[in-house]
Chains A and B, each alone.
Chain A
Amino acid sequence: MTLTPSADAEVLDAQIAYHLNAGVDVVLTTAAASQDAEEALERHVRGGYVVKAPSGAGLADQAVGEHAADWVIDSHGGEFWWPRGEGLKDVLIAIPPRYTIVQALARPFVSRHDGAGSFENRMTVRRPVEQGSDGEQGAETRTLRPIYRGRPGPGRGGQVPLRAWYPVEVFQFPMRGEPGVGEEELSRGIAEETLVVDERLRDALRALRGGQGFRLPTDGVSALTFRSPDVVDDAAYAVECAAVGEVDLLRLDRHIRELEARIAFLEARFWPRVLRSVSRLGGAARVRR
């Protein structure tokens, strides 16, 4: 995992401990923006789970090149990547090789006005999936976050995303200081189903909290147990995946037209280049004679 560290030490500490228990092997990051967060980071660096780099540029390449990563999660501060399976590795290892990107479904949690208690106890309410609208790509960008298959070499061209199914959810927690929601508004939102109660991360972090901070995996064994969704969960989740609206006839038509244009461009270049090459070869042969 490459991580843009949060300035909030509590969130950063929870984020690293949670992901190490969820199946992440190593976290690559940069210096944190606050002294508290930096101290939290250093504890994990000393534990050997976190590697600090001087800058955020090229972290993904470093993950692949130096740490032989099979998959790379590019995480922002306050994001928790939740597998729909027994762990992140369990989910990602079963992805067919043809897909080079798995997309995670964003779950934005709302900030609450009453600031008492740990962040996971305060933030157990999130927004439902944002409905995609015809041809509007912005909604997808906000709703889906990529996980990349580790591949050596520069750039990320030629990627094949797994569309219309999102085997990982990413819980996004607002940073401290962001405008919050009052209790009355929360209750109304939950009653009207414009907000959803989601306590999964709270329960996971409670399970990880020990006497001296969060527990880390012991000899590679996670302190967390993830529950695999059953078919009823998957059927409900399918409705949410469909609501993202990543695939419809209009979009398919747009993708095919774009591909046609590129193939036409290649075709237009192909034969002139072949003829020029043949002509050059012919000229060289005549000169040799």
Chain B
Amino acid sequence: MKLVQTLVVRDEVDIVDAQIAYHLNAGVDFVIASDHESVDGTTEILESYARAGHLLRIPVAGPVREGDWRTHMARLAATEHGADWVINTDADEFWVSRSGTLKDTVTAVPRSVGIVWALSRHFVPRPGEGFFADRMTARVSASAPINDPTSPYRPHAKAAHRADPRIRIGFGSHMVFSDRLAPVTGWHPAEVFHFPFRTLEQYERKSVRRVHGDKPLGQYVRANQARAAGRIGERFRSLVVDDATLARGEAAGSLVVDTRLRNALRELRDGQADGRRVTRSYDLEVALASEGAILQDADLVRVLRAVDGLRARVDAVERRGWGHRGGRRE
């Protein structure tokens, strides 16, 4: 069984080394990385893994074409690298299996199932400048979906799939499209720890880049607007969770302290990791089931918003005269 990880990265030097080392120790056999014009030292880190035979670096340039790049890498995993399963990641995401290694997890997926989703867990920025995983040990655990299109904490999931030379990967790897792989939803065999904003400098750089990308999400539009008004620092500080806010969030149940990644990375640094971290516990299983249900609610909202878009298009067709006579429906 071979597990291949794909990665799209640009200027993520503060996190990318930990991300790749973590996944190689968590059951990933090989990494394919699209390096989008990195200039901050990310390229050198990728090259060091490539020299060790763990990674293929694909330089990409020009406007962001995330879906195309991910699709190319996922297909390459199937055709050139003998992958059985593929996980599609960003540099700020860490896949954590519910028990055993990631390879154990995907190996246990029934043969009839070809696509599964890992539940994203959003970690909030915390004060300070040190290594992100040492600082960022609090994550969002809302009891209802935050459906704000400008929030970085909207519930979502990331797809893992069996190797398929014709697979197509959607934006953000939230959706994948295959004519031969059967998906299973509502069951999340892994979690994705997500660290979207870590420092002011990284927040500003990422927001500027993404607002000009192929899908300028509301959170980046807002950050860019704050930057234009000279208030980017203020905006970032409003996202940072200080100790008082953390205590308030813990009391309300909307923030929880989760040190699993911090501990795993510390063990890696100390040379103690065996990749078989057991994360399963009754509390975690209950929380995962609950947040899985919240994700379903959020997906329902996404579907209704899409239906609203279709309805507006039908309105437009009707107004052109196809559905009305003399301005009134027949």
- Do A158 and B312 have beta carbons less than 8 Å apart? yes
Judged by a CB distance under 8 angstroms, whether A160 is at the interface is: yes
Known: A239-B143, A266-B314, A270-B322. A232 touches B245 (CB 8 A): yes
Minimal beta-carbon separation of A156 from chain B (angstroms): 10
Minimal beta-carbon separation of B239 from chain A (angstroms): 8
Query: Which of A241, A263, A266 sits near B147, CB closer than 8 Å?
Result: A241
Of the stretches B35-43, B64-72, B103-111, B303-311, the one at the interface is B303-311
Residue interface mask A248-264, B partner, CB < 8 A = 1: 11011001101100110
Minimal beta-carbon separation of B238 from chain A (angstroms): 4
Judged by a CB distance under 8 angstroms, whether B76 is at the interface is: no
Known: A94-B225, A266-B314, A266-B322. A164 touches B301 (CB 8 A): yes
Residue interface mask B299-330, A partner, CB < 8 A = 1: 01101110111111111111100110000011
- Do A259 and B225 have beta carbons less than 8 Å apart? no
Please indicate which of the listed interface residues B241, B249, B305 has the most CB atoms of chain A within 10 Å of its own CB.
B305
Between A and B, how many residue pairs show CB distances below 8 Å? 147
- Do B245 and A230 have beta carbons less than 8 Å apart? yes
- Do A252 and B304 have beta carbons less than 8 Å apart? yes
Query: Which of B217, B241, B297, B315 sits near A231, CB closer than 8 Å?
Result: B241
Query: Which of B145, B150, B221, B310 sits near A259, CB closer than 8 Å?
Result: B310
Contacts of A239 in B (CB 8 A): 143-144
Known: A164-B301, A231-B124. A96 touches B149 (CB 8 A): yes
In the assembled complex, the Cα of A247 lies from the Cα of B300 at a distance in Å of 7
- Do A265 and B323 have beta carbons less than 8 Å apart? yes
- Do A259 and B311 have beta carbons less than 8 Å apart? yes
Which residue of B has the minimal Cβ distance to A273? B322
Minimal beta-carbon separation of B229 from chain A (angstroms): 9
Judged by a CB distance under 8 angstroms, whether B203 is at the interface is: no
Known: A96-B218, A249-B300. A269 touches B322 (CB 8 A): yes
Query: Which of B146, B149, B249, B303 sits near A252, CB closer than 8 Å?
Result: B303
In the assembled complex, the Cα of A233 lies from the Cα of B300 at a distance in Å of 23
Interface residues of A in 210-249 (CB under 8 A from B): 228, 230-232, 234-236, 238-239, 241-242, 247-249
Residue interface mask B181-219, A partner, CB < 8 A = 1: 000000000000000000000000000000000000111
Minimal beta-carbon separation of A44 from chain B (angstroms): 26
Query: Which of A86, A241, A256 sits near B307, CB closer than 8 Å?
Result: A256
Judged by a CB distance under 8 angstroms, whether A161 is at the interface is: yes
Minimal beta-carbon separation of A268 from chain B (angstroms): 10
- Do A230 and B146 have beta carbons less than 8 Å apart? no
Known: A157-B315, A230-B241. A262 touches B323 (CB 8 A): yes
- Do A160 and B314 have beta carbons less than 8 Å apart? no
B: residues with CB less than 8 A from A are 124, 140, 142-151, 153, 217-219, 221-222, 225-226, 231, 235, 238-239, 241, 245, 248-249, 252, 254-255, 297, 300-301, 303-305, 307-319, 322-323, 329-330
The 5 residue pairs across chains A and B that have the minimum distance between CB atoms? A235-B254, A158-B315, A242-B144, A235-B142, A165-B147
